[in-house]
């Protein structure tokens, strides 16, 4: 096959070039531990600086003038306090995670836990050379070591911060049950998944994409029901609205569910999932409770905009390109005995690096790059949100052109356009969720996958203005 062939270029030429440039990683004894610590503390300092930039916004006494009419004073003040509490908690969590990881690295925790896993696997009847068995034991020990220390932090977030501002609906029994379920899922699904990963890396790294897609598919079908109950949305005007909207767009709606989000929180949302030929729409019961049917219809229209533009599929493609790029860099680390020696592994283990150990240490090395790439993913996600908003806004014009409209049932905002109802819904969600409306641009760029409320409302207003100008122009042409 000619090297000019695009497939050959992507599968062989580019990876081979990258690996040849990084060949020194497999042989040169670089101070990997010190490099990871230095970069980790640098990233922490930058992220803490971003939080520091955002924090003064929670001291502002009033919302932006263009939003003042929509935010009652008591709700705005409560939202400011809630935001300040969350950002303080984020700063603490960042520092805690960094100190935990630093201790793990400095004390050779990765190597010590591998030795413990090897000994435990031996007691279970597995040979030291059984890489998959030892790796799965090591993963289990590591999962427990990482999860147990953060339980008090999660408890504080749930039963102090969320409880204080009226969002928490989780009981202590449910909190414990969720932890046990997550550990069980990690054992039942996570361990076989990692075993498959080890086998695939030794066979054909690029096929790992199949297992990512499997997780995307099985989460809503098998994992989500373990934590929340999905019930058919009762017959009524809301169901009629959503089904009519989906039908007008040829959306392959199979089921329309309401989810008991109120079981854990009073925050609200809506989403869809499923295969290309069979989709399911899920609406939080908290959204139904707090939001008008017209506004819920507009929210669903926005979600269907994501479907119409194939945003979920595009995000999967982007994630696979990122994964392919990562896997193209991984091979030199997989063969790097100096990498393992730097983190305290014995010469015997380092001479033939276990795949999962090498990949875990590789993740530590490339972690900061992942944080930077996340900014790019957030930017793409915000672009998709604008596109979905525009799609919802243009539905009225589309319906008028095709000679039919969306059903209205006489409520307060039934005469509003889809774009106006979407704007009202966004405001309602922000007020109900106590979301801040003062956002530092760098904080938003680093953290937010959605545009700010002010940005979205301005974009919606611009879309409505464009539609009016277009209608006026067409009217003049007809005259």
Residues marked active site are found at 303, 389
Cα 35 from Cα 41, distance rounded (Å): 10
Identify the CA nearest to 428 among candidates 406, 453, 447, 410. 453
DSSP-derived pairing of the beta strands 230-232 and 278-284 = unpaired
Give the CA diameter of the chain: 89
Adjacent-strand bridge partners of 255: 280
Other CB atoms within 10 A of residue 95 CB: 12
Q: Which helix (H) or strand (E) covers residue 79, if one does?
A: helix 73-106
DSSP-derived pairing of the beta strands 278-284 and 270-275 = antiparallel
Which regions of 247-373 does DSSP assign to beta strands (E)? 253-259, 270-275, 278-284
Inter-axis angle of helices 355-393 and 191-203, to 10 degrees?
A: 100
**C-alpha dihedral over 100, 30, 327, 447, to 10 degrees?**
40
Contact 389, 302 (CB under 8 A): yes
Which regions of 125-173 does DSSP assign to beta strands (E)? none
Identify the CA nearest to 156 among candidates 137, 175, 143. 175
206 CB-contact burial (10 Å; exposed 0-12 / middle 13-18 / buried 19+)? middle
Cα 277 from Cα 271, distance rounded (Å): 17
């Amino acid at each position: 096959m000619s090297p000019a062939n695009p497939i050959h270029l992507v599968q062989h030429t580019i990876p081979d070039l990258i690996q040849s440039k990084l060949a020194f990683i497999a042989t040169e004894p670089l101070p990997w531990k010190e490099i990871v610590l230095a970069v980790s503390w640098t990233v922490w300092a930058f992220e803490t600086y971003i939080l520091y930039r955002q924090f003064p916004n929670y001291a502002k006494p009033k919302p932006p003038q263009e939003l003042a009419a929509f935010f009652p004073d008591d709700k705005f003040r409560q939202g400011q306090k809630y935001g300040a509490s969350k950002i303080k908690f984020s700063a603490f969590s960042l520092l805690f995670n960094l100190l935990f990881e630093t201790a793990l690295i400095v004390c050779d925790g990765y190597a010590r836990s591998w030795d413990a896993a090897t000994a435990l696997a031996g007691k279970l009847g597995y040979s030291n050379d059984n890489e998959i068995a030892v790796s799965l034991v090591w993963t289990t020990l590591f999962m427990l070591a990482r999860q147990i220390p953060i339980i008090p932090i999660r408890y504080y977030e749930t039963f102090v911060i969320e409880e204080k501002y009226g969002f928490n609906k989780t009981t202590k029994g449910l909190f414990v049950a969720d932890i046990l379920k997550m550990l069980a899922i990690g054992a039942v699904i996570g361990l076989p998944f990692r075993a498959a990963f080890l086998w695939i890396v030794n066979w054909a790294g690029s096929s790992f994409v199949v297992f990512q897609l499997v997780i995307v598919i099985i989460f809503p079908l098998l994992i989500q029901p373990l934590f929340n109950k999905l019930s058919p949305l009762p017959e009524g005007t809301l169901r009629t609205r959503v089904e009519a909207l989906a039908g007008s767009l040829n959306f392959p709606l199979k089921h329309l569910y309401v989810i008991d989000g109120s079981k854990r929180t009073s925050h609200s949302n809506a989403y869809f999932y499923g295969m290309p030929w069979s989709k399911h729409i899920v609406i939080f019961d908290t959204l139904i409770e707090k939001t008008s049917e017209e506004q819920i219809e507009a929210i669903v229209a926005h979600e269907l905009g994501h479907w119409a533009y194939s945003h979920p599929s595009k995000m999967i493609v982007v994630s696979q390109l990122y994964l392919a790029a990562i896997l193209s860099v991984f091979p030199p680390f997989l063969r790097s005995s100096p990498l393992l020696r730097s983190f305290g592994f014995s010469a015997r283990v380092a001479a033939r690096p276990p795949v999962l150990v090498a990949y875990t240490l590789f993740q530590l090395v490339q972690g900061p790059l992942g944080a930077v790439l996340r900014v790019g993913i957030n930017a793409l996600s915000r672009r998709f949100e604008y596109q979905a908003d525009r799609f919802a806004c243009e539905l009225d014009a589309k319906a008028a052109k095709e000679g039919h409209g969306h059903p209205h049932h006489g409520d307060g905002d039934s005469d509003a356009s889809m774009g106006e109802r979407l704007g009202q819904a966004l405001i309602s969600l922000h007020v109900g969720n106590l979301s801040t409306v003062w956002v530092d641009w760098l904080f938003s760029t680093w953290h937010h996958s959605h545009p700010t409320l002010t940005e979205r409302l301005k974009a919606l207003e611009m879309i409505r203005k464009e539609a009016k100008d277009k209608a006026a122009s067409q009217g003049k042409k007809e005259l």
